[in-house]
Amino acid sequence: MPRPTTRLVSTNGITLHVTECGEGPPVVFCHGFPHTGYIWHRQLPAVAAAGFRAVAPDMRGYGGSDRPEAVADYTNAKAVGDLVGLLDEMGEEQAVFVGLDFGAALTWELALRAPERVRAVIVCNNPYIGRGRRRPSEVFARMAEQHFLHIHYFQEPGPADKELDADPRRFLSSIYFALSGGFHYLDIWAHPSAGNGYLDVLPVAPPLPWAWLTTAELDVLAGHFARTGFTGGLNWYRAMDLNWELMEPLADATVNAPAFFIYGEKDCDMEGFSGMDPIAAMRNRVPDLREVTEIPGAGHLVQLEATEQVNALIVRHLRSLGG
């Protein structure tokens, strides 16, 4: 298997820490919260071995990349600029983009804002359902009146940052387990907002190693956040209203790039939040949706919970594009 290397890339006024593996047509992996580019470390060698250049940046605010202070610097529009600049630096006109969580939302929006740079998208767990009718923070506040909602709790700078920074390892193990196929994440909605932080409502994770995550892997991720804190990642949540405003001109746009969707059967993003059939909504917004695959028993971190199956799907999707 090819071995990954790392480097720093100047793009769009910031510096990104980038992990690369292999040579060939580029495939860019976009992570979400609370991850770094390392969350794709099982995918990069497999994709490189199939004849592609696999690239996983730490997104702005994370890991070895720059962490601007202003919330306005964490919009998808800003991050799209990062990725377009990354392609320019690599000397590439197009890439296939693979996204999960916030990285999925970014991948969809990249295909809307810079379609000429997107060969195709492969998205894990976060379907494209278009722009909501109401300001996100208003929706979150209404929901938080009924039960604890992490997205609402994260909006105010300070409390969540302090809580999560105090024990990154405990938080990561709790949230990764809670989002996995081994737990039903929406059970935390049984807790009220008042008097609770995130760690108060998350389950206690079983001891590592798990069937799908090793102690060494958690050590790496916890080390990243012990060094940087979580504020950069939390700012992506705090920019959600700005994203909503900036997306108004694209409210009726469709993602026209070839698209592939992979999701865990037990992922929380496929239930509870949208109030609609997410697959049907995505088909209406993504006319060239070529394949939808459910991974039985898996949750949110599907690329770790079902590594071999997801790697095989990604490679098959890439090869299906030809050229």
pLDDT tens per residue, range 200-247: 999 999 999 999 999 999 999 999 999 999 999 999 999 999 999 999
Whether the pLDDT of residue 63 is over 70: the answer is: yes
Average pLDDT over residues 270-279: 68
Report the pLDDT value the prediction gives residue 105, as an integer from 0 to 100: 96
- Architecture of the domain spanning 5-320: 3-Layer(aba) Sandwich (3.40)
Element of type H or E holding 249 = none
Q: Which residues are catalytic?
A: 101, 300
Whether the pLDDT of residue 274 is over 70: the answer is: no
Q: How far apart are alpha carbons 80 and 268 in whole angstroms? A: 26
How do 118-124 and 95-100 pair as beta strands? parallel
Q: How confident is the model at residue 182 (pLDDT cuts 50, 70, 90)?
A: very high
Q: How confident is the model at residue 271 (pLDDT cuts 50, 70, 90)?
A: low
pLDDT tens per residue, range 83-98: 999 999 999 999 999 9
Q: How confident is the model at residue 278 (pLDDT cuts 50, 70, 90)?
A: confident
In sequence order, the 6+-apart residues with CB closer than 8 A to the CB of 124 are 98, 99, 100, 104, 261, 262, 263, 302, 303, 310
Report the pLDDT value the prediction gives residue 258, as an integer from 0 to 100: 98
Contact 279, 292 (CB under 8 A): yes
Average pLDDT over residues 134-155: 97
Average pLDDT over residues 166-192: 97
Sketch the domain layout of the chain as residue ranges. 5-320
